[in-house]
Amino acid sequence: MPWSWGRGKMRGMTGLDLLHMVGELKLIEETFVKKFYSMDGNTLSLTFHPEREGRRELLIDVRGALFLTRLRWSKPQVPSPFAMVLRKHLENARVERISQMGLERILILEFSKNDLKLLIELFGGGNVILLSGDVILATLRRAEYRDRELRAGVTYKPPPARGPELDDLSEDSILRAIEQLPRDERVSKVMISFGLGPPYLDEALSMLGCGAESRISDVGPGAIARLISELLSRETEPSVYLRDGEIVEYSAFPLKSLALEIRRVETFSDAVESYYLSKRSLPEDRRVTSLEREIERQLSLKSEYLSSYERFKRIGDLIMMHLHEIDDLLAILRAGGSSGGVKSIDRRSGKVIAIFDGEEIELDLRRSASENAADYYNKAKKMREKASRVDQAISQLEERLRSMRSSAERELLRLEPRPRRRVRWYERFRWFYTSSKLLVICGRDAQTNSEIVNRYMSDDDLFFHVDMPGGAVVVLKTGGAEPDRKSIEQAAVAAASFSRAWREGFSHADVYYVRGSQVSKHAPPGMYLPRGSFYISGERNYLRVKLELAVGLQETPDGLKLTSAPPDAPFICSVRIRPGSMSKEEAAIRIKNKLASCLERNVKISGSPEPLVDELGVEEIVRSMPPGRVELEE
């Protein structure tokens, strides 16, 4: 679901903002593109590696914002066609250079592949254009203007410059450009042409001591050039501005003209992101709006019915209070007589309007007073029944509305960016924590098996391996202490499960374990050691264990994380598996659904379900599972 700009329209970045942002984006030059995501029709995400200062994602909203983020933003499961095109051309490409087109709101990313460039236009409706040389390969959206066309296959033409061309940003260059302009040009227009749109425009006008309608001739080209040069050369001191605790503005450096609470932030990206988050909201759901209108209509109808009920009952009561008087009146009128209390009479229809206690009452000449009263009581009863039925309808509508709003709140929670989870060194391998909170790491292949032994296994740790070729190295990190029996058994189950024994469908397997000091990659002289093998000296300890695992979420120092471990290891939520006939991909889909359901029932964080499962993909679950097919235990 796309985001909209709520709580006041969000301002787009100015040319000056982009100038400062480019300085910050230099940080990701020489990184490599990992993936592109199209988060909605206006927002793209570029993820890169290696990360820079805890940031690994550039978020681009073509309506006027881009920034490096430390947060994890929700991504769609299925990439858009445009995202697929960008991935095809730019995945694993090195980011060679990032620049700005003059002082325009156009960012240029140049890549190492085939003279490829990505242009991000942050004005108008915004656009993203992929170029090979000067030829457009793809655009976020096709567009045709009076002086240019943006579509695949044509040569890219920049938009008309808003101001004079500059050789550089020096005061002399700026002065020469201003001297080319008419003397009656407004100062505010000059400022905007140099990238100094709001909120910098107010600051500039205040510093010059002039108003929005002042002309160049009123101030002088020299004073204007000096100020523009000074503002364009200021150091980045990112700030956000608050009103009643809400962020309402940001700037690349502090502005005195903004009479608001100011708060300094670490980077300009942080400033833009904070403002961007404060302005975003989910777009109005038409279904919710329609339901709200229907509830209002039903409430109005209920009010009418209750008003009619009160009126009919009041008239019925009034007739009963004047029962004999009305009977006498009706008898006189039937006989052809008249009475002063009668306002009008229609003998053809038999309708009489009489006045009693200052209220007009319509009576049926052909019926008695008590029968007239009964008619009004029946009408009142029908109005009350209608009001009751409307009440029931309103209750149903309100229940539907609550359900829709609850869904919208869940969607808002799902889409809300969250801090990235810290990735520990051991997450490159298979891993889990035992019942005694000891760490177990398992190799994924021959390379990671060797890496675990060479870099991460201490002499006091325990080394486990299935008693057959083709298994993962499993190391129980002891921290120099004597491990408990339960932890040893759990590490042994992992060694049996992450091995060829699982792929071949065994139910049990033998596992041996030794101290880390007994393991060597080098055999004694005269003995041949196959590649990827280890030499074990001394006595081995053996265990026969069952092949079974659980895939689930363990509590770690960094929060809940997905892993596979023996079923009796500590899990918040888990699904048991054993060797079977189901593909891992099919099993992963079922496991994800089961984990989501488990978290919905059992895990609450800040009053809301823990959102981790929404971030889990089938690939991550498959990657955590042992080699071979599986069977889920229901």
Residue 487 clears pLDDT 70, i.e. is over it = yes
DSSP code of 271?
H
pLDDT tens column, 354-406: 999 888 999 999 999 999 999 999 999 999 999 999 999 999 998 888 887 77
Same structural domain for residues 521 and 619?
Answer: no
Integer Cα distance of 42 and 35 in angstroms: 17
Per-residue pLDDT, 542: 97
Please say which residue of 392, 415, 438 terminates a domain: 415
Same structural domain for residues 518 and 557?
Answer: no
Per-residue pLDDT, 338: 82
User: For a pLDDT cut of 90, what percent of the chain falls above it?
Assistant: 69
| Summary mean pLDDT of the chain | 89
**Alpha carbon 82 to its chain's center:** 20
Task: Quickly count: other Cβ atoms within 10 Å of residue 620's Cβ.
Answer: 12
Confidence category of residue 212, pLDDT binned at 50, 70, 90: confident
Higher pLDDT, 515 or 558: 515
Per-residue pLDDT, 2: 47
Dihedral angle sign, alpha carbons of residues 402, 405, 411, 415: negative
Residue 1 clears pLDDT 70, i.e. is over it = no
Q: Are 279 and 31 in contact (CB under 8 A)?
A: no
DSSP β-bridge partners for residue 440: 432, 476
Same structural domain for residues 104 and 243?
Answer: yes
Same structural domain for residues 311 and 209?
Answer: no
Instruction: Please state whether beta strands 549-556 and 559-565 pair in parallel, antiparallel, or not at all (unpaired).
Output: antiparallel
Q: Give me the mean pLDDT over the 65-92 stretch.
A: 90
Domain membership of residue 90 (yes or no) is yes
Which of 398-402, 509-513, 613-617 is predicted least confidently?
A: 613-617
Per-residue pLDDT, 29: 95
Number of domains, the chain: 5
Q: Give me the mean pLDDT over the 599-620 stretch.
A: 57
Confidence category of residue 523, pLDDT binned at 50, 70, 90: confident
Per-residue pLDDT, 281: 61
Domain membership of residue 589 (yes or no) is yes
Q: Which helix (H) or strand (E) holds 346?
A: strand 342-346
pTM score: 0.64
Per-residue pLDDT, 255: 96
User: For a pLDDT cut of 70, what percent of the chain falls above it?
Assistant: 93
Please say which residue of 393, 415, 437 terminates a domain: 415
Confidence category of residue 633, pLDDT binned at 50, 70, 90: confident
Residue 210 clears pLDDT 80, i.e. is over it = yes
Same structural domain for residues 355 and 451?
Answer: no
Domain membership of residue 616 (yes or no) is yes
Higher pLDDT, 326 or 279: 326
Integer Cα distance of 75 and 614 in angstroms: 10
Q: Are 571 and 619 in contact (CB under 8 A)?
A: no
Higher pLDDT, 528 or 598: 598
Residue 616 clears pLDDT 50, i.e. is over it = yes
Same structural domain for residues 559 and 502?
Answer: no
Residue 604 clears pLDDT 50, i.e. is over it = no
Residue 127 clears pLDDT 90, i.e. is over it = yes
- Estimate the crossing angle of helix 286-321 against helix 369-415, to 10 degrees: 160
Helix, strand, coil percentages for the chain (3-state, nearest 5)? 35, 25, 35
- Domain containing 542 equals 421-547
Domain membership of residue 226 (yes or no) is no
Confidence category of residue 602, pLDDT binned at 50, 70, 90: low
Same structural domain for residues 197 and 339?
Answer: no
Helices (H), 465-583: 485-497, 500-503
DSSP code of 105?
S
Place of tokens 């007994």: 518
Same structural domain for residues 203 and 249?
Answer: no
